[in-house]
Amino acid sequence: MANPDSQESKYWKLMSELKQKIVDGTYQAGDKMPSENELAAFYQVSRHTVRKALAILEHEGYIYAVHGKGTFCSEMGRHTKTSRNIAVVTTYLSDYIFPSVIQGIDQVMTENGYSIILKNTKNSSSAEGKCLEELLSKDIEGLIIEPSKSEIYCRHIALYKKLDEFHIPYVFIQGTMEQLSDRPYVMMDDFKGGYLITKYLLSLGHRKILGMFKADDRQGIERHRGYAKALQEYGVFYDPDRIIWFHTEDRAVKPFARLRAMAASGIKFDSVVCYNDQIAIKTIQTLSQLGIRVSEDVSVTGYDNSFLAENYQVGLTTIAHPHEKLGEIAAKLLLDLMQEKTLSLADRQIVIEPELIERESCKPR
């Protein structure tokens, strides 16, 4: 253990005190910090100790130096929590279920006098990091975020820790990351959803069930786990050759190229469990091009009960996703966190039960 009078403990203590003054607003964004000599005299430490403390703060983004003018508090200090702004970061904004989720958030926040700053990451982890850096420079009071590639190790955890340091509460939606699994979230029980829809196909007599799952987010992994569990319960052999994994970058091509290759190679299947409704609709189109009739020859299921599921030419069996309701729940949870209410674990980490929606894309075998 370091000696409490050592240079190491002194510079760390000084750095911590200066950081706290930035966080609590004693130093505001753009304010000039005291000089090295002033800090050394006030805290009764050496200039070497001051330099080490300031170097850490500069590295972490709390201050910046201007040659010949001094050191200044950065935009990260701009957190007065009086803006009535909250930020919403999703993977996408304008398509699929995302407009409904955002609408649910907006309704609750508008009713409570808040405005929303909208950002999207296109499911890119690096873009998520840039969004967080930008938001840390703004005076936001809270954040609702859908993590990008939630199954991939997050390399910008330090930015979430900065949110914690600034006492800016945040709520994850749709999924969470392993390193932050103790944080507040609102999401579907995707394991149970994958289980329910696979069990439904099994109950119709299907046994050669393909699975198409996204490998880089938690939803895909959990839906696959549910799929495997249902097969196990029915005593059906889990065949890894009947699983098509894909990533965000190749989602428009790989699943369907692989499906064509499997059909051409003679791999037999009587149904397909798809990651979501978008993948399911494209699967139906691909099967049709191959001369395979959906429901008559092969059953197809989706996930999310999107507009596509109900309005496509073949009604899609899927799992209900309460798009707008999920947004409302997340917004209400964020409000409780901003008001520093004491919440139980069940109230901080909310899991929505899935519901099977039966339509014409599946028939008994």
52 inside domain: yes
In this predicted structure, the answer to whether residue 75 has a pLDDT above a threshold of 90 is: no
CA distances from 258 to 23, 210, 251, 271 (A): 52, 11, 11, 15
Spatial distance between the Cα atoms of 54 and 43, rounded to a whole number of angstroms:
13
Q: What average pLDDT does this structure show over 204-219? A: 97
Contacts of 169 (CB under 8 A, 6+ apart): 142, 143, 163, 184, 334, 337, 338
The 10s digit of each residue's pLDDT in 150-187 is: 999 999 998 999 899 888 999 999 999 999 999 999 99
Q: How confident is the model at residue 243 (pLDDT cuts 50, 70, 90)?
A: very high
CB 96 within 8 A of CB 65: no
Instruction: Note whether 111 and 28 are same-domain residues.
Output: no
The DSSP secondary-structure symbol of 304 reads B
Return mean pLDDT, the chain.
92
Domain that holds residue 110: 85-188+324-352
Spatial distance between the Cα atoms of 321 and 131, rounded to a whole number of angstroms:
26
361 inside domain: no
In this predicted structure, the answer to whether residue 41 has a pLDDT above a threshold of 90 is: yes
291 inside domain: yes
The 10s digit of each residue's pLDDT in 90-123 is: 999 877 889 999 999 999 999 999 999 999 999 9
Q: How confident is the model at residue 299 (pLDDT cuts 50, 70, 90)?
A: very high
Instruction: Note whether 23 and 93 are same-domain residues.
Output: no
334 inside domain: yes
Per the DSSP assignment, residues forming a β-bridge with 294 are 298
Q: How confident is the model at residue 138 (pLDDT cuts 50, 70, 90)?
A: confident
Instruction: Note whether 34 and 57 are same-domain residues.
Output: yes
Could you tell me which of 136, 145, 141 has the C-alpha nearest to residue 105? 145
Q: How many domains does the chain have?
A: 3
Instruction: Note whether 312 and 202 are same-domain residues.
Output: yes
Instruction: Note whether 197 and 267 are same-domain residues.
Output: yes
Count of beta carbons in the 10 Å neighbourhood of residue 17: 11
Amino acid of residue 89: V
CB 119 within 8 A of CB 143: no
357 inside domain: no
Query: What pLDDT was estimated at residue 221?
Result: 97
Spatial distance between the Cα atoms of 49 and 55, rounded to a whole number of angstroms:
10
In this predicted structure, the answer to whether residue 348 has a pLDDT above a threshold of 50 is: yes
Lowest mean pLDDT among 22-31, 109-118, 285-294, 322-331: 22-31
Q: pTM score, two decimals?
A: 0.82
Instruction: Note whether 328 and 184 are same-domain residues.
Output: yes
Count of beta carbons in the 10 Å neighbourhood of residue 30: 11
What's the CATH number where 42 sits? 1.10.10.10
What's the CATH number where 101 sits? 3.40.50.2300
